[in-house]
Amino acid sequence: MLIRPVKSTDIPAITRIYADAVTHGTASFELEAPDDAEMARRMSELVAKGFPYLIAEMDGALAGYAYAGPFRTRPAYRLTVENSVYVAPQAHRRGVGRALLAALIDASEKAGHRQMIAVIGDSTRQQASIALHADAGFKHIGILPDTGFKHGRWLDTVLMQRTIGSGGTREP
């Protein structure tokens, strides 16, 4: 498996992976899958602001992607990021998510971030994501019940947090 920074040529594969998650899953609370142009815009915006955006390649194909972005837009949150990890259906249970999350944590620390927040949709069907984050050192910090409605049912949001580097032990 190769983990590397995103390239613009990755957008079609990223769009397909995300479209599957939006259409069939509950990890994302989007109801309509965005097109290539919108996914390219989102990626470009994050990369231009210095946030890490990583790709996993396996067997010559894009197997997943992960990125960090702003947790909130207020200036005091500038050292806290929210992570996103998406894995192609054919690559599930092959260590792709684990490798991407570890690399994303490392890249976020190198970028100077101090806290990483995981906002995980659907507390009942996203147990693999919750376990992945727990294994990577994230602590459960709360559940927001019934915050999304998708696929005909109400979904909870799970919040998990991980300190990066020195965290809140010293000033930036």
Domain spans of the chain, in order of start: 2-163
The model's pLDDT over 5-17, given as tens digits with 9 standing for 90+, comes to 999 999 999 999 9
The model's pLDDT over 65-121, given as tens digits with 9 standing for 90+, comes to 999 999 999 999 999 999 999 999 999 999 999 999 999 999 999 999 999 999 999
pLDDT for 143: 96
Alpha carbon distance 96, 74 (integer Å)? 32
Enter the pTM of the model.
0.95
For domain 2-163, the CATH superfamily is Gcn5-related N-acetyltransferase (GNAT) (3.40.630.30)
* 125, pLDDT greater than 90: no
Share the mean pLDDT of the chain. 96
CA neighbor of 161 nearest in space, from 76, 81, 50: 81
pLDDT for 167: 95
53-58 and 115-121 strand pairing: unpaired
Beta bridge partners of 84: 67
pLDDT for 148: 96
CA neighbor of 164 nearest in space, from 116, 129, 121: 116
List of residues 6+ apart from 36 with CB closer than 8 A: 11, 12, 15
Separate counts of helices (H) and strands (E) for the chain: 4, 7
